[in-house]
Amino acid sequence: MKTDPDCVFCKIVAREIPAAELLEDDDAFAFLDIGPLTPGHTLLIPREHYTTVDEMPGDLLARVTQHLPLLVQAVQAATGCDGVNILQNNHRIAGQLVPHVHIHIIPRRPGDAWTFNWPASEYAEGEMGKMADRIYRELERRC
């Protein structure tokens, strides 16, 4: 199994650092975030070390994320929240502070302190099609 001796999440999986463990199997590990945005904030990670989701084999990502429905149901029932945000960030610029793939399950309640900034914009005329073409060509190149 691929690990990083300097990674805090690898140390949690190896039980070198304690965590409030919630779920584990051969591929996945879930625990409460030590710095929760709201009570019940849960992290789901692969046991193996990958820095970003695009480095992970697709079948492993599927085996890890298969636990999301059950975890979301449990977090919602345990916290009595009205909904959840499910987030996965890649690289520091996107908000990833620990360089090990992790998926946040964040319980939400009316008036909680966490805000989600989503400054939506629009494509200029013809730019959406050009962007779709560039992405499609990259997909073709990789398949």
Residue 58 in domain:
yes
What is the pTM for the complete model shown?
A: 0.94
pLDDT at 116: 81
* Nearest residue to 53 (alpha-carbon basis) of 6, 99, 90: 90
pLDDT at 120: 94
Nearest-5° Cα angle at 89, 83 to 94: 115
Residue 122 in domain:
no
Output the domain CATH number for residue 85. 3.30.428.10
Distance CA 26, CA 47 (A): 7
Domain count, the chain: 1
Element (H, E) at 62: helix 58-65
Residue 139 in domain:
no
Residue 134 in domain:
no
Decide if 102 is catalytic. yes
pLDDT at 87: 97
pLDDT tens, residue by residue, 68-84: 999 999 999 999 999 99
The whole domain housing 50 covers: 8-115
Residue 129 in domain:
no
One of 67, 100, 102, 104 is an active-site residue; which one? 102
Residue 40 in domain:
yes
Residue 46 in domain:
yes
Residue 126 in domain:
no
pLDDT at 95: 94
Which residue numbers in the chain have pLDDT < 70?
none
pLDDT at 108: 97
